[in-house]
Amino acid sequence: MYRELRESGVLLTNPRGVFSVPMAEHTMGLMIALARNFPDSLRHQECASWGQQDISDQPQHLTELNGQVLLIVGFGSIGHELARRAKAFGMRVWGVSRSGNGDRQLAERILPVRELYSVLPEADYVVVAAPQTKETAKLIGAKEIARMKRGARVINVARGSLLDEGALVRALEEGTLHGAALDVTATEPLPAESPLWKAPRLFITPHTSSMSDRLWTRQKELLLDLLQCWFDGRAMFNVVDFEKGY
């Protein structure tokens, strides 16, 4: 939110809600892939190898999502849609938002971001879905990753700047984290020489979580609704807060 925009007096809206469904479904897919170790199954398939014993013998055993604690960092529209789906899998959903507010029918606990550090050791899955602002840079840094329980899994579908990628690689190499999935990286496209490509138990999708065949329909409907509010003189929604940055 550069200064000229903040001082322009222009009313700016955002596409809140347009990407929430595909991103929530994509994130559920990433969690299932990590729990059931689909990446290794695919690698065995590519080699025409029946890898059941190899997958079974790994220290990162195949697990269930049922009963696991899912900590959603950024409990906004994407977080809410993810929570709905995670609850259907029997997961225990906790949310973290800037204010500590959110739909309490979707989460056992909703905490303000200042309490994030204290609850990290209790989460089995940590999903980063917060907006990119000055305050959220390296929100999940080396200290936060070290705070997570041994065997936790981390997923970032927000922006690459929110996660310390070097600390993530080290935790995966040392085995303190059982897995991670990234749909976003600090540099995109991800350079071929990036250590992320060879990090163990890391599943990467190329920033595709927001893509959907229904995207343009949702965007059109949102734009028409906003235009109708404007021409009718009604209060606008999805208005960007220049101070918060989203």
3-state SS class at 149: coil
* Active site (annotated) includes residue 150: no
| CA distance linking residue 197 with residue 183, whole number of Å | 13
d(CA 152, CA 126): 8
Catalytic residue among 6, 188, 214, 221: 188
Query: Distance between CA atoms of 202 and 21, rounded to whole angstroms?
Result: 24
Neighbours of 180 (CB within 10 A): 27
Catalytic-labelled residue, pool 159, 165, 178, 201: 159
Does 135 qualify as catalytic in the annotation?
no
User: Would you tell me the crossing angle of helices 38-46 and 20-36 to the nearest 10 degrees?
Assistant: 70
Q: Is 188 a catalytic residue?
A: yes
| SS3 at position 21 | helix
Which tokens sit at 222? 């949102």
Residues taking part in catalysis: 159, 188, 207
